[in-house]
Structure formats: C-alpha cells, structure tokens
Amino acid sequence: MSTQKKDLLTLFDYSTEQIREIIKLAAEIKAKRYSNEYSKLLDKKTGVLIFEKPSLRTRITFETAIHELGGHVINLASEAVGIGTRESIEDVARNLERVVHLIVYRTFGHDKIERLARSSSIPVINALTDTHHPCQALAFGLTVTEARGDVKQNVVFVGDGNNVCNSIMVICAKLGHNFTFAGPKGYEPKKEMIERCKEICAQSGGSISVTNDLYKAAAKAEVFYTDVWASMGQESEAQERKAIFADYQVNSALIAAASKDVLVSHCLPALRGEEITSEVLDSSNSVAFEEAENRLHVQKAAIVHLFS
C-alpha cells in the first residue's frame, strides 16, 4: 500500500495551513468553474459513492464535482454492497481499490470509514458519519471567508452537539475562531472532542466555550450555526427532542440579540419552524444556501488536494 495515499476523514487530520489552502483553492475553483483548468484531473478515473444515509446536497455536489474534474461516477446502492454484512469492510476496500480511484462513503459509525480507509490504497472521503462531517465544515469555512475575509469570528452553534457541531467546532479551532456551543444540558459535544479542540486553540488563538444560556452567547455572536434537533438515526427521539430544544430556536428574537449583520447558516435540510424559522432562513442574514453551493467547490478542492 502506498504511503503517499491521502484521505479526508476528519479535519483533525489536517493542519491549519492545509485547511486554509483548501479553502483558498476552493475560492479559485469557484471563480474559474467554467474554465478547463481542472477539467482533466480525474480523466479516465472513477469515483464510487456509497451512501448508507439519505442525501441531497452531498450526493449531487460530489457527482457534479467528479464529473467537472473529468471523472466518472458510480453510485453503489448501499443495500447492494452490504458493507460489513454481505461482505467485510476490508474486502470491499480491497476490491474497490483495484477497479476505481476514489471512494466517497456516507455511513453511521465513524469506525466503519476508518476501517475502509485503512484497508484501501486509494483516497477515501467522509461524506458524513455519526461523528464528523468535514466537507460541511470546509464549506462553512469558505462561506465565512467569502463574507468576512480571513478575520476571527465569534461563532455560536445552537442546538445539539452532533456530527455537524463537532466539525464546525474543529474548523473554528483550526482557523482560530471563537466557538461557543449553546444548547440544552446533556446535549453538549462529547468532553474529549471539546478538550481536543481546546488544545488546537492553544496554538491557533481561538477559543471553545460551552453554555446552556443561549441569549448570553448571542450577545457576542457574529455567526450563528444550527442543525436539526434529531439527526439521521434519531428519528424515534424527534418528539422528545422537540420539547427539550424548544428554547434553542434560531428566530428573529435571537437575531435581534446579536450584532445587526450576524450571519446565519444551517447544514440543511432544515425543519422550518423547529430549529430555525423561515423568516431567518430566508433573510439577508442567511448564508445557508451559499454554503450548500460551496459544498461543490470545497469538495473539488479536497479532491485536487487528495490527488496532488
């Protein structure tokens, strides 16, 4: 197995400089989307997408990214593959590496993608696990940079300490932003995730804080980020969580408590009227749909990085 092979499993594996380079490259690729500069990168190469969770943005942006980089895409239905059931993760990896050139995997337990990457000599990209969503965080990084430049921001994540929260916290730590989690007691990010990000902040100049007091956090907010209260796989908890998270909605009252030009983003899909109101999601403060588009550009940049 080549020692040169690179993966994108979590942003913990990337230095601040590498993350900045990917964001800078993504901005350049976005500006030159219809030029031919990167259109042959994946010429005669095939990327395979294996998605065990539903997807709109991740699937369509990866398909488009691979196509526009000159490659071919195969969508493998997860039930047809049966990773870990019909066939071992390691055997799937050993078969795919002999035929295709890139694996994009969206799954539940993060250990599954780690095993796939360890067993594969070709790059593996995390298209979301229960623990990390690095491509979403890179899109957030590009979106904030476009709106504010390379300037430290006070980022407040509102809601559940889930996979998206983890990855937004990691990129904030890496880029030196001040990150605050504001959500109900018992739903904070895991302690080891927080401690690891605090260690990064000691080098980057950022900060990590956790509070259950949303409006206290809002007072200094320059960016709000939110996500659904019940993630994929937690549907049975949805009604219970709706009551627990009711006071952690991103609405016009929260926007009024922050700086006038506060940015608001969401990884989407949004449950309008629950974690965020339509009034806010469709407002001039919202950059959620810009971030959704930026998934395409950062994923292209990530693929360029992996094949460089």
What is the set of active-site residues?
Answer: 106, 133, 136, 227, 267, 295
Q: What is the 3-state secondary structure (H, E, C) of 98-129?
A: CCCCEEEEECCCHHHHHHHHHCCCCCEEECCC
Alpha-carbon dihedral 241, 251, 247, 134, rounded to 10 degrees: 50
Find all residues with CB under 8 Å of 306, minimum gap 6, and list them: 6, 7, 8, 102, 123, 125
* Residue type at position 214: L
Q: Does residue 21 contact residue 305 with C-beta atoms inside 8 Å?
A: yes
Give the span between the Cα atoms of 66 and 43, in whole angstroms: 10
Residue 293 Cα to chain centre, angstroms = 13
214 three-state secondary structure: helix
Please report where in the chains the tokens 């390691």 appear, as a residue.
Answer: 90
Query: Facing residues of 286 across strands?
Result: 264
**CA distance linking residue 90 with residue 163, whole number of Å:** 24
The span from the CA of 214 to the CA of 5, in Å, is 43
The residues, ordered by sequence, that sit 6+ positions from 54 with a Cβ below 8 Å of its Cβ are 232
